[in-house]
Amino acid sequence: MTTPATGHVHDFAAIGVGPFNLGLAALAEPVEGLAGIFLDQRESFEWHPGMMLEPAHLQVPFLADLVTMADPTSPYSFLNFLKQTGRLYRFYIREDFYPLRAEYNQYCQWVAGQLPSVRFGTTVLDAAYDDGVYRLAVSGPGGTEVLSARRLVLGTGTSPYVPEAGHGIMAEAAAGRGGMAFHNADYLARKADLQQRRSITIVGSGQSAAEIYYDLLTDADAHGYRLDWVTRSGRFFPLEYTKLTLEMTSPEYVDYFYGLPPHRRDHLNKTQKNLYKGINADLIDAIYDLLYTRSLAGMVDTRLLTHSTLTAAAWDAAAGTHTLRLHHDEQGTAYTLDSDAVVFATGYTYREPEFLAGIRDRIARDSGGRFAVDRNYSTGVEPGEIFVQNAELHTHGFATPDLGMGAYRNSCILRAISGREVYPVERSIAFQQFGAPESITAEVPA
């Protein structure tokens, strides 16, 4: 990939360098005649540092790295990372397709360090559009400057989400006026202080909540705290990972989902959470086994509470606890739970970056004000003008945040930007058919 001198117009500027845009940078690097730049305000690549628990691993195999599913020969593959760092045989002997989360983070850092098009420590302050060119005002190590590009790729990622009922205690805790309440994105940084509390409540039901619960349960006897786990879900459900289900992370299913009416897509996103928000089944079993082992010495000081929606929360200064008001949705019963500390493992949501205000008239919207994303991941008023990474759940379905589909999406984006199919874009990989088959009329012999 060509990196033009300052002042030249880039073919595209990608903002935010998480795994998806980093994969785009790696796939774009060897493409002759393509000039792109990648910007991120962080000082270096870090992927969910607050959840870098020692035994935690990806929920997708190593083939779902930044590049392999688009280009198995790429020098930026996970296997080449293992080879170059002297760990390939150890990974082979381990006989586990799922890389450790910390290992994946190291791999991404290794890739980022080799790409001259990636600039960390660079914040996009404002964006404007003039005569077919986007002008980005940025602040970086060298001061402020204006970068120009014909297209944008938005990969600013998702932000920690906390239910509205929890905002109050989060604000109080952040201001130092009461208790400890935080999102799991800060878990490791706050863990030592957290374990000094008499009681801890985890809110949420996904993989992160389960990992934190298991981690805290392991140390509960040593620290003597009570541990509660609360979820509005009806059960602590496993991530569905059977092979025919995995076919739904395919171009065909994205085509099918994209072709549905918006209200049907929204309904599916609410009902398909077990396809992308569940817990690894082995971890669920490990939690039960640990509870069983601890129960041999008596009842474990913990509660697992399902069907429970957080409706309000407040800091009780006199008691020194947070009071969580919960509603059991199946029974229709309200109850309260007191806890010294609260960890919200309630996921992430997409929030539009502020710099988009300057180019709001260049973004296509649906009736609800969301990005109107084309099948090729473009959301500009002109086709192929602005692309999104992991901001199209409402149009492309649950495959949106899947690391295994990142290389496919980047192949589509590169095809749209370059005007040619740089990497073969799969169109049909599934055995099953997701839509109704065309009617077949048998001919009757004369």
CB distance 361 to 228 below 8 Å: no
Residue 324: its pLDDT value, please?
97
Instruction: Determine phi and psi for 442, rounding to 5 degrees.
Output: -75, 135
Place of tokens 């940025």: 138
The alpha carbons of the chain give a radius of gyration, in whole angstroms, of 24
> Phi and psi (nearest 5°) for 334?
-100, 145
**What pLDDT is stored for residue 52 in this prediction?**
92
Q: Is residue 41 part of a domain?
A: yes
In a domain, 217, yes or no: yes
Last residue of a domain, one of 302, 320, 344: 344
Domain count, the chain: 2
Q: What is the DSSP string of 212-253?
A: HHHHHHHHHHHHT-EEEEE-SSSS-PBPP--HHHHTTSSHHH
Q: Are residues 29 and 103 in the same domain?
A: yes
Q: Are residues 198 and 76 in the same domain?
A: no
H helices within 307-418, ranges in order?
A: 393-396, 406-418
Q: How far is Cα 196 from Cα 314, in angstroms, rounded to an integer? A: 21
Q: Do both 21 and 75 map to the same domain?
A: yes
My answer on whether 327 and 359 are in the same domain is: no
Question: Residue 179 falls within a domain, yes or no?
Answer: yes
* pLDDT reported for residue 177: 85
Nearest to 20 by CA among 383, 433, 403, 422: 403
Does residue 430 fall inside a structural domain?
A: no
Q: Where are the alpha helices (DSSP H) in 9-99?
A: 19-28, 78-84, 88-94
Threshold 0.85, pTM exceeds: yes
Residue 323, CA distances (Å) to 92, 127, 187, 319 in order: 49, 44, 21, 10
Are both 182 and 299 inside the same structural domain?
yes
- Tens of pLDDT along the chain (446 residues)? 765 555 689 999 999 999 999 999 999 999 999 999 999 999 999 999 999 998 899 999 999 999 999 999 999 999 999 999 999 999 999 999 999 999 999 999 999 999 999 999 999 999 999 999 999 999 999 899 999 999 999 999 899 999 999 999 999 998 888 889 999 999 999 999 999 999 999 999 899 999 999 999 999 999 999 999 999 999 999 999 899 999 999 999 999 999 999 999 999 999 998 888 899 999 999 999 999 999 999 989 999 999 999 999 999 988 999 999 999 999 999 999 999 999 999 999 999 999 999 999 999 999 999 999 999 999 999 999 999 999 999 999 999 999 999 999 999 999 999 999 999 999 999 999 999 988 765 565 55
Which two tokens mark 20? 């998806």
Residue 111, class by beta-carbon neighbours within 10 Å (0-12 exposed, 13-18 middle, 19+ buried)? buried
Tell whether 76 is covered by a domain: yes
Place of tokens 């991530």: 239
Q: Which residue, 326, 344, 362, sits at the end of a domain?
A: 344
Name residues whose C-beta falls within 8 Å of residue 320's C-beta, 6 or more positions apart in sequence: 179, 340
CA distance 368 to 357: 17
Same domain, 307 and 375: no
Q: What is the predicted pLDDT for the residue at 176?
A: 86
| Element housing 277 (H / E) | none
Domain residue limits at 114: 9-159+349-418
Q: Is residue 299 part of a domain?
A: yes
Same domain? 192 vs 305: yes
Residue 95 forms part of a structural domain = yes
78 and 151 share one domain = yes
Q: Which two tokens stand for residue 242?
A: 């059977």
Residue 443: CB partners within 8 Å, gap ≥ 6? none
Domain check: are 178 and 210 in the same one?
A: yes
Give the pLDDT confidence score for residue 5 in this predicted structure.
56
Q: Indicate whether 445 belongs to any domain.
A: no
Residues 372, 394: Cα–Cα separation, whole Å = 9
Q: Which of 316, 344, 372 is at the close of a domain?
A: 344
Instruction: Judge if 182 and 61 occupy the same domain.
Output: no
96 and 167 share a domain? no
State whether 212 and 297 are in the same domain: yes
Output DSSP code: residue 361. G
CATH code, domain with 134: 3.50.50.60
- 159-165 contact pairs (CB < 8 A, 24+): 159/348, 159/349, 159/350, 159/351, 160/184, 160/185, 160/344, 160/348, 161/346, 161/347, 161/348, 161/349, 162/344, 162/346, 163/203, 163/310, 163/344, 163/346, 165/310, 165/311, 165/312, 165/313, 165/325
